[in-house]
C-alpha cells in the first residue's frame, strides 16, 4: 500500500511537471502568435502584400523643346529596359546563362549591376540593360517563363533630331550621381533617374521633368502579372519655346561648315538669340540613356574640345573688333575728334619697340572714319596711348566686357578687362605704357567671348541700348518671358553715330576691309578682326606657323543699317584674316535671314 502510494505520488509529480511543460509550450506559442498577428501583424501583412503586389513606376514624358515657330528641337521616343525585380535576386544564378546570352552581356557584368543596386528601394527594379534593341526585347518575351522576375520596362528616351546642331544650347541628359542625390534640390530623385546635365535641359530641369506615375498590380508565384489594382497617371513636363529660329540655325551651322569656332545671331532690339552655333559639337543622343565609355573617351580626347560651348566659354583676344571701344574712349575723353588725323607708315615706334601695322606699307594719313574703315593699327596705337589703359577699361566695361552677359546657360565666362590695378595685384609689377598699345587693338591681356562681342555690336546697332541675350521665349501655359527695359549706356549719341557710320564704311566703303560682306539691297555695317595667337619675331611669316598657331578670324555686323533686325558675330579659330574667313559667313547668314523673313 505504501509502495503504491509512493508510485502514485511520483507519477502525480511527473504529471504536474508535464502539465506545466505543456502549458509553457502553449503559452509560448500563444505569445508568439500574439506577437506575430497583433504586434507585428501590419508588418507581415505588408511583406505578404509585397510578395503578391508589385508597384511599377510610370516615367513622365519630358517636356518638348521647340524653336520660336513651334518646330521640334528635342522630344521623346520609346525605349525599353530589361530589369530584375528585387524578389528575383535569389533566382539570379539560375537564370544568368540565358539572360547573359539574350542581352549579349557578360555574366559577371550582370552580377556587378545587381550588387551595385542593392541599396535601391525594394519596389524599384534593378536595371540590367537599358535601351535594348528589338532582337533582345523579343528574346526576353519569348523566354518569359524561363526568366521569372525579369521584366521589360518602358521609358521615354530623349531624342534630339538635330543631333550635333544646337547641342550646346539644348544640353543633354545623364544618370543622377551620388553627389547630386545628396543635394536638397534633387531630394525627389532616386538612383537610376536621368536629369539635365547641361544647357536648357539642366537650367529648366524642374519644368521639363514632369511627375512620374505608378502602376500597382498583382503577380502570381512566378512574378507574372495577374491584374492591375490601381494606377496614378504621370504628369508630363512642360514644353519650352526657345527664341531660336530653326531655319536660320541650320543655315548658320552649314555656313560655318567644318571650321572650328562660333556663329551667333541675335535680334539687337530684344536680345533674343536667333541662332547659336559652336563647332566642333557633339551628339546629345549619345547621352540619352547613358553614354558608353568608348564614346566618352572620344569626346574628352578630342583636341578641339567638342563639349566646350565656344560661344560663351571660348576666350579669345577681340583683335580689331575692339578698336571701336578705343575709338569711343578717345571721343568721349576728348582726346580725338572724327577729323583727328594720324599718319601711318606701317609701324609705330614706342620706346625701344616697333609696333607694326597689319598693312606693311602703311595707310598714309587717316582720320577716324578712315582708320576704322581700313582697320589701321597705327592709328589706334596712338589713340590708346592718349587714352591710357584704365580709361580703355572703363568704356570696355560699359559695353559689358569683363562680365558674363547674363545668358541663362551655365558656366558662361566673363573674359578679362585689364587695368593697372589688376596687373599690380596679379603680377606684383606696374603697368607698362607699351602694354596699352597692344590693348588698344584688342591684344595683350584682353580676352572676350563671341557672345560678349555680339552684345557690343548690338549695342552700337541699338544706338547705345545694351541688350541682355535671351534664349527662352515662353514656357507652356505662360504668356511669355517678360523682358526688362533695355538700359542705355552712358555714351553720347554723337560718338555712337560716328562709330555706326564708320562701321557702314567698313562694308560699303571704297577701302573697307569687309567689302566681301556686301549684299545688294541690304546695307550691312560691321568690323573685321584678326586676333593673334602668338607674337612673331621680326622677319618670320605667319603663313609658316602651324595651323594651331594661326590667327583667329573675327567679324561682327548688323543689318539693315537704318533699322537693324539682326546682329551676327563669327569667330573662326585659327582662320587667319577676318575679312577672308569670317565675313563671308556673317554675310550669308544676314542675307538668308532678311530675305527669308521678308525684311
Q: Which residues are catalytic?
A: 320
E strands along 197-247, which residues? 213-219, 225-232, 240-242
Element (H, E) at 542: none
557 class by beta-carbon count within 10 Å (0-12 exposed, 13-18 middle, 19+ buried): buried
Collapsed DSSP state (helix, strand, coil) of residue 153: strand
Give the C-alpha separation, 398 to 324, whole Å.
13
Question: For residue 32, what is its C-alpha cell?
Answer: 508568439
Cβ proximity of 196 and 309 under 8 Å: no
Cα–Cα distances in angstroms (integers) from residue 263 to residues 61, 73, 254, 573, in the given order: 32, 18, 10, 11
* DSSP code at position 385: H
* DSSP code at position 69: T
Instruction: Point out which residues pair with 555 in neighbouring strands.
Output: 528, 570
Contacts made by residues 91-100, CB under 8 angstroms, sequence distance 24+: 91/148, 91/149, 95/146, 95/147, 95/148, 95/150, 98/143, 98/146, 98/147, 99/128, 99/147, 99/150
Give the C-alpha separation, 427 to 116, whole Å.
50
Give the C-alpha separation, 129 to 90, whole Å.
19
Question: For residue 263, what is its C-alpha cell?
Answer: 556663329
Amino acid at each position: 500500500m505504501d509502495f503504491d502510494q509512493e508510485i502514485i505520488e511520483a507519477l502525480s509529480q511527473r504529471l504536474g511537471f508535464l502539465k506545466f511543460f505543456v502549458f509553457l509550450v502553449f503559452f509560448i506559442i500563444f505569445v508568439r502568435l500574439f506577437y506575430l498577428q497583433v504586434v507585428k501583424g501590419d508588418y507581415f501583412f505588408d511583406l505578404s502584400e509585397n510578395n503578391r503586389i508589385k508597384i511599377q513606376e510610370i516615367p513622365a514624358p519630358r517636356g518638348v523643346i521647340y524653336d520660336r515657330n513651334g518646330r521640334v528641337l528635342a522630344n521623346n521616343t520609346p525605349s525599353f529596359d530589361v530589369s530584375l525585380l528585387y524578389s528575383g535576386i535569389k533566382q539570379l544564378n539560375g537564370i544568368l546563362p540565358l539572360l547573359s546570352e539574350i542581352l549579349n552581356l557578360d555574366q559577371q557584368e550582370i552580377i556587378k549591376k545587381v550588387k551595385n543596386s542593392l541599396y535601391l528601394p525594394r519596389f524599384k527594379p534593378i536595371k540590367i540593360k537599358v535601351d535594348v534593341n528589338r532582337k533582345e526585347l523579343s528574346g526576353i518575351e519569348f523566354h518569359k517563363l524561363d526568366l521569372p522576375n525579369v521584366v521589360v520596362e518602358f521609358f521615354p528616351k530623349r531624342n534630339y533630331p538635330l543631333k550635333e546642331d544646337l547641342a550646346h544650347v539644348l544640353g543633354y541628359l545623364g544618370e543622377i550621381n551620388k553627389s547630386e542625390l545628396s543635394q536638397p534640390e534633387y531630394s525627389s530623385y532616386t538612383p537610376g533617374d536621368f536629369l539635365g546635365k547641361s544647357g536648357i535641359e539642366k537650367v529648366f530641369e524642374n519644368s521639363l521633368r514632369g511627375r512620374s506615375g505608378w502602376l500597382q498590380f498583382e503577380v502570381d508565384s512566378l512574378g507574372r502579372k495577374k491584374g492591375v489594382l490601381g494606377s496614378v497617371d504621370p504628369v508630363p513636363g512642360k514644353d519650352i519655346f526657345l527664341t531660336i529660329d530653326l531655319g536660320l540655325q541650320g543655315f548658320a551651322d552649314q555656313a560655318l561648315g567644318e571650321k572650328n569656332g562660333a556663329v551667333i545671331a541675335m535680334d539687337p532690339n530684344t536680345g533674343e538669340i536667333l541662332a547659336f552655333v559652336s563647332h566642333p559639337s557633339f551628339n546629345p543622343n549619345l547621352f540619352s540613356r547613358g553614354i558608353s565609355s568608348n564614346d566618352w573617351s572620344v569626346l574628352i580626347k578630342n583636341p578641339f574640345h567638342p563639349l566646350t560651348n565656344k560661344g560663351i566659354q571660348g576666350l579669345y583676344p577681340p583683335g580689331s573688333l575692339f578698336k571701336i571701344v578705343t575709338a569711343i574712349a578717345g571721343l568721349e575723353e576728348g582726346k580725338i575728334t572724327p577729323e583727328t588725323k594720324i599718319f601711318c607708315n606701317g609701324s609705330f615706334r614706342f620706346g625701344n619697340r616697333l609696333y607694326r601695322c597689319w598693312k606693311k606699307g602703311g595707310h598714309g594719313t587717316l582720320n577716324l572714319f578712315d582708320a576704322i574703315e581700313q582697320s589701321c593699327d597705327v592709328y589706334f596705337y596712338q589713340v590708346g596711348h592718349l587714352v591710357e589703359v584704365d580709361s580703355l577699361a572703363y568704356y570696355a566695361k560699359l559695353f559689358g566686357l569683363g562680365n558674363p552677359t547674363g545668358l541663362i546657360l551655365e558656366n558662361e565666362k566673363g573674359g578679362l578687362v585689364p587695368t593697372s590695378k589688376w596687373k599690380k595685384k596679379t603680377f606684383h609689377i606696374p603697368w607698362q605704357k607699351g602694354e596699352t598699345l597692344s590693348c588698344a587693338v584688342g591684344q595683350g591681356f584682353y580676352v572676350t567671348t563671341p557672345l560678349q562681342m555680339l552684345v557690343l555690336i548690338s549695342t552700337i546697332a541699338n544706338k547705345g541700348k545694351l541688350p541682355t541675350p535671351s534664349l527662352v521665349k515662353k514656357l507652356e501655359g505662360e504668356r511669355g518671358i517678360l523682358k526688362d527695359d533695355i538700359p542705355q549706356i552712358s555714351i553720347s549719341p554723337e560718338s555712337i553715330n560716328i562709330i555706326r557710320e564708320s562701321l557702314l564704311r567698313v562694308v560699303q566703303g571704297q577701302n573697307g576691309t569687309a567689302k566681301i560682306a556686301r549684299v545688294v539691297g541690304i546695307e550691312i555695317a560691321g568690323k573685321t578682326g584678326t586676333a593673334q595667337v602668338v607674337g612673331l619675331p621680326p622677319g618670320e611669316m605667319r603663313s609658316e606657323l602651324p595651323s594651331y598657331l594661326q590667327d583667329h578670324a573675327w567679324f561682327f555686323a548688323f543689318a539693315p543699317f537704318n533699322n537693324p533686325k539682326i546682329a551676327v558675330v563669327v569667330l573662326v579659330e585659327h582662320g587667319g584674316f577676318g575679312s577672308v574667313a569670317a565675313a563671308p559667313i556673317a554675310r550669308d547668314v544676314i542675307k538668308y535671314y532678311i530675305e527669308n523673313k521678308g525684311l
